[in-house]
Amino acid sequence: MASDAAQFTGSIPENYDEWLVPHLFDGYADDLARRVLALRPRTVLELAAGTGILSRKLRDGLPNDSDLVASDLNAPMLDIARTKFQPGESVRFEQVDAIDLKFADASFDAVACQFGIMFFPDKARSYTEVHRVLKPGGSYLFNVWDSWEQNPFAQIAHQVVETTFPNDPPGFYKVPFGYYDAGEIRKAVAKAGFSKVTVEHLPLTSPIASAANFAKGLVFGNPLQDEILARGGNPEAVCTQVEKAIERNLGTDLSLQALIVHAYKA
Ligand SMILES: C[S@@+](CC[C@H](N)C(=O)[O-])C[C@H]1O[C@@H](n2cnc3c(N)ncnc32)[C@H](O)[C@@H]1O
């Protein structure tokens, strides 16, 4: 069953798309799309597609007669993704849990997943499922965040909520930044049957256009706001503290780092 950290619903999808995507996800989507498109796939499945940042870039680069399925656990995320496409464009949106894929064996040339795997409750099963639905010779390309040390904004956001709720700090920021051991990932992916796995560390710099907007994304663009409310807290007040902490500690640019994984099915 999906954890609370995976509940991107309610007002979260809109806030996520407006305030978080430009700061955190756009640059990595460019990178992942480039890697997927270089394989010249005809059939592509995207998992945890969210509000469609990578889906849009994939569709832009794929030939018109190729198939793209953009899937996510949470339908409200896909509702935002849909708005980024014209009616005639060939993209199918499907509500799909990444640990239980509803596709036939050997259906896709490539599967892509941007910053989703950290939320999957059974990662081993998700890797096995992707291996099953890939055609022989197919590829799974995904990225995951590196540690807090390499993504200081996440540690800063966590420190604010830890100070606000010292007895029971919300744990959201431990989830997306808690799965970065390259050896462990390589082993888990290989165990699912992939014949070769490469892992690359990719640093990126992203301008902080507005500390206030970025803070909104960090508090209201993910399930942290629900964790704050569940503790009787005030998300607006936390957001102000996050904004101040960003201004104090980060300056004008964000230092980001992710692991980029390419798994090959023989
Ligand atoms: C940080 S967002 C990334 C979204 C998008 N890939 C992007 O780059 O903006 C994480 C996404 O994982 C999705 N998710 C969480 N658990 C999932 C699961 N078990 N199966 C599929 N998607 C899941 C969430 O709904 C959310 O859209």
The finding on whether 47 has its CB within 6 A of some atom of ligand 1 is: yes
At position 201, the amino acid (one-letter code) is H
* Among the listed residues 113, 84, 80, the one whose alpha carbon sits nearest the alpha carbon of residue 13: 80
Q: Which tokens go with 172?
A: 């959201």
Q: State how far Cα 172 lies from the chain centre.
A: 14
Neighbours of 248 (CB within 10 A): 10
pLDDT digits (tens, 9 = 90+) for 65-120: 999 999 999 999 999 999 999 998 999 999 999 999 999 999 999 999 999 999 99
Question: Could you give the CA distance from residue 173 to residue 242 in angstroms, rounded to a whole number?
Answer: 13
Q: Residue-wise over 55-93: b if at least 16 C-beta within 10 A, else e?
A: bbbbbeebeeebbbbbbbbbebbbebbeebbeeeeebeb
What is residue 3's predicted lDDT score, i.e. its pLDDT?
A: 65
Position 143 pLDDT exceeds 70: yes
Phi-psi region at 81: left, alpha or beta (left = phi > 0; alpha = psi -120 to 50) = alpha
Calculate mean pLDDT across residues 256-265. 98
What is residue 10's predicted lDDT score, i.e. its pLDDT?
A: 93
Task: Compute the distance from residue 8 Cα to the ligand 1 centre, in Å.
Answer: 8
Does the pTM surpass 0.85? The reply is yes
Distances (CA, A) of 150 to 97, 147, 154, 155, 254: 29, 5, 9, 9, 10
Calculate mean pLDDT across residues 126-147. 98
What is residue 40's predicted lDDT score, i.e. its pLDDT?
A: 98
241 pLDDT band (50/70/90 cuts)?
very high
Calculate mean pLDDT across residues 134-144. 98
The finding on whether 73 has its CB within 6 A of some atom of ligand 1 is: yes
By the 10 Å C-beta count (0-12 exposed, 13-18 middle, 19+ buried), 9 is classed as middle
The finding on whether 25 has its CB within 6 A of some atom of ligand 1 is: yes
What is residue 2's predicted lDDT score, i.e. its pLDDT?
A: 55
Q: Which tokens go with 72?
A: 């996510």
Domain boundaries, the chain: 4-264
145 pLDDT band (50/70/90 cuts)?
very high
Q: Which tokens go with 9?
A: 């619903």
In this prediction, what percent of the chain has a pLDDT beyond 90? Answer: 97
DSSP for residue 168: S
Question: Could you give the CA distance from residue 134 to residue 82 in angstroms, rounded to a whole number?
Answer: 25
Task: Compute the distance from residue 248 Cα to the ligand 1 centre, in Å.
Answer: 30
Task: Compute the distance from residue 119 Cα to the ligand 1 centre, in Å.
Answer: 7
Give the chain's radius of gyration (CA, Å): 18
pLDDT digits (tens, 9 = 90+) for 46-72: 999 999 999 999 999 999 999 999 999
What is residue 82's predicted lDDT score, i.e. its pLDDT?
A: 97
The finding on whether 37 has its CB within 6 A of some atom of ligand 1 is: no
Q: Any idea what the Cα angle at residue 144 is, between residues 81 and 25, rounded to 5°?
A: 40
What is residue 4's predicted lDDT score, i.e. its pLDDT?
A: 83
Position 231 pLDDT exceeds 70: yes
What is residue 124's predicted lDDT score, i.e. its pLDDT?
A: 98
The answer for residues whose C-beta is within 8 angstroms of residue 34's C-beta and 6 or more apart is none
Q: Supply the CATH classification number for the domain 4-264.
A: 3.40.50.150
Q: Which atom of ligand 1 is nearest to the CA of 99?
A: 19
